[in-house]
Amino acid sequence: MKVAFFLKNAYKKKAHVKANTWGPVMVVVLPLAFLALFYFFPLFEIFSVSIFPKGRPDLSGFTKVFFYNSYLRVIVFTVFQAAISTLLAVAVGIPGAYMFARFDFPGKRILKTIATIPFVLPSVVAAAALESILGQHGLLNSGLKSLFGPDFSGINIEHSLTFILIAHVFFNYSVVLRIVGGFWSRLDTSLGESAKMLGASGFRVFFSITLPLLRPAIFAASLLVFIFCFSSFGIVLILGGPKFATIEVEIYRQAAHLFNLPTAAALSIVQIVFTFIMMWVYTWLQRSSAVKINPDFTGLGGRKPSQKIALIFIAVNSAAILLFCGGPLISLFVKSFVTQSGLSFEYYSALFVNKSNSIFYAPPISAIGYSLMFALGALILALILGLSASYFLATHRGKIAGILDPIFMLPLSTSAVTLGFGFIIALDQPPLNLRSSPALVFIAHAIVAFPFVVRCLVPAMVSIPDSLRDAASILGASPANVYRHVDLPITARALVAGAIFAFTISLGEFGATLFIARPQTPTIPLAIFRFLGQPGSLNYGQAMAMSTILMLVAGFCFLVIEKFTRHTGMEI
């Protein structure tokens, strides 16, 4: 009787477990519905405006884009500057990648962090940092004028292609460093050592063995840098001036300044197509260029440099990283305190002042409050969506999960400017009339942050053995209790990392926010952009002060993220 009673209860609990398998399916409806409303619908509206601007087929927008010299120049320049920036970033990054992959030396982790911080900075802060050291009134020109006299003209690269290229290399250097360096550190060195024993020179080993093995990582890093530079917005808008425009910048100008929605929509479609083609090329290159290596080789921690040439190589590379990556950050910090009367907190104090003494004017410090408010809202929304999507992907390994995974990652391949443009043309009629609502900023920031949350959580959730969940369910735990007592303790670190990711991304989001934020609710990046666009030392100083605040917050968040993701399976 006891055996029959046990089997009967076990059968009921097993049926209960099977019934609960519908839980993840119902959960995934939430992120899918959110993406359908606030991602795919705006993109569909962009397509409609570009193809059917007046309710009937009209390709005049595409005709202008492809047959007017002004728009062709924008497309050509976008591709050209992205290609040159990519070549420079790879050329500059590979020596550093080799140094971090093959050598162990004091201060290695700190140096790697300094090299990575520019990438996690918002684009407006990266532009402001380079402006503070290389601009007309930057520290470099100030030092040259004090050395050669006030009549010295200094270095003038403002609003030039050179400035844009330097900024893109500064911004994307760590992409090459981490992707190529991480792959390089896992390459089995025995192949090269065997070649040297057979008489091959160091150059022969590199070009015949190491470089072919590195090709997948170099391709991946190059394409990633190309995509970032191709969709560059804040850097080109601030440092390029009116003379230079990428497709992103031109979309903004056509939509926000000229109200030429069909042309802006046509440019958005062109950019989306370009992006998807590049992603297809990326996957094709990975399949065709991958080289199999020893799967048992887990990588080297790096060897202590013993030869003189190795010590010189490390010293030169370390100095270059400190100067190129750390110099603008230090310059930004210094410039925020340097006033016409000397060192002071004048620019920081001015952030609290209502200069016009008007009830309709908000002091600049209010932008920090609005940014924190938007970031907190985006964090909550992105976590809810990310948890739902990650739970489904981790508990379903079939074809549906294989289809949904890249769908959840689509916002990564869509520019924020295109997303913001889609919002203003799609969400302006009931029942989704959100054009003047602050909620639109929360939504935009959550969409941008959502894929990062998923990428943080999925590796941690996949690492949980199914037997733990099954055992808890058989013992009578509800799906909520299974998640609370099994999943949550294991994924807590990944959850914190995802939350900080969402918070940091929201704080620095600029492209979409420039379209949808109301003038009375500015964010920190918008305030920095407006200060840099206004004349006067006080406005410039306040831009430096706000950029420094955002730089310190972003840098701190990155350090926390790196600490937590080191144990979650996600590589930054």
Number of domains in the chain: 1
Q: Is 306 exposed, middle or buried (0-12, 13-18, 19+ CB in 10 A)?
A: exposed
Q: How many CA atoms lie within 13 A of 513 on its CB side?
A: 32
Quick one: pLDDT band at residue 456, thresholds 50, 70, 90? confident
The two tokens of residue 77 are 């320049």
- Domain assignment present for residue 119? The answer is no
- Domain assignment present for residue 277? The answer is no
In the block, which residue shows the tokens 């799967």?
295
Q: pLDDT tens for residues 52-77?
A: 877 777 777 778 888 888 888 999 99
CA dihedral 428, 432, 437, 440 (to 10 degrees): -100
- Domain assignment present for residue 547? The answer is yes
Q: pLDDT tens for residues 522-572?
A: 899 988 888 888 888 888 888 899 999 988 888 888 777 777 665 444 444
**CATH number for the domain that contains residue 357:** 1.10.3720.10
Quick one: pLDDT band at residue 298, thresholds 50, 70, 90? very low
- C-beta contacts of 462-468 below 8 A and 24+ residues apart: 462/394, 463/490, 463/569, 464/394, 464/490, 464/491
Q: How far is CA 276 from the centre of its chain?
A: 17
Domain span at 461: 25-58+346-572
Q: Considering the chain, what percentage of its residues have pLDDT values greater than 70? A: 84
Tell me the pLDDT of the chain averaged across its residues: 80
Q: Is 531 helix (H, G, I), strand (E, B) or coil?
A: helix
Q: Considering the chain, what percentage of its residues have pLDDT values greater than 90? A: 16
Q: Is 389 helix (H, G, I), strand (E, B) or coil?
A: helix
pLDDT at 201: 66
Quick one: pLDDT band at residue 193, thresholds 50, 70, 90? low
Q: pLDDT tens for residues 17-65?
A: 444 455 556 678 889 999 999 999 998 888 888 888 777 777 777 788 8
Q: pLDDT tens for residues 86-119?
A: 999 999 999 999 898 888 888 888 888 888 888 8
C-alpha span between 416 and 447 (Å, rounded): 10
Over its C-alpha atoms, the chain yields an Rg (Å, rounded) of 26
| Cβ 124 vs Cβ 529: under 8 Å | yes
- Domain assignment present for residue 91? The answer is no
pLDDT at 294: 46
- Domain assignment present for residue 102? The answer is no
| Cβ 513 vs Cβ 354: under 8 Å | no
- Mean of pLDDT values over 247-254: 89
In this model, does residue 358 exceed pLDDT 60?
no
In this model, does residue 368 exceed pLDDT 90?
no
- Domain assignment present for residue 543? The answer is yes
C-alpha span between 238 and 147 (Å, rounded): 29
pLDDT at 185: 79
pLDDT at 87: 95
Q: Distances in Å between the alpha carbon of 379 and those of 236, 376, 551? A: 28, 5, 19
Q: How many other β-carbons are positioned within 10 Å of the β-carbon of residue 392?
A: 26
C-alpha span between 158 and 156 (Å, rounded): 6
> Cis link prior to 328 (omega < 30° from 0)?
no
pLDDT at 356: 58
40 DSSP assignment: I
The two tokens of residue 329 are 């950050």
- What amino acid is encoded at 127 in this protein? A
Q: How many other β-carbons are positioned within 10 Å of the β-carbon of residue 468?
A: 14
- Domain assignment present for residue 187? The answer is no
Region for residue 149 given its phi and psi (left: phi exceeds 0; alpha: psi -120 to 50; beta: otherwise): left
Closest CA to 133 of 324, 346, 320: 324
Residue partners of 400: CB distance under 8 A and separation at least 6: none
- Domain assignment present for residue 31? The answer is yes
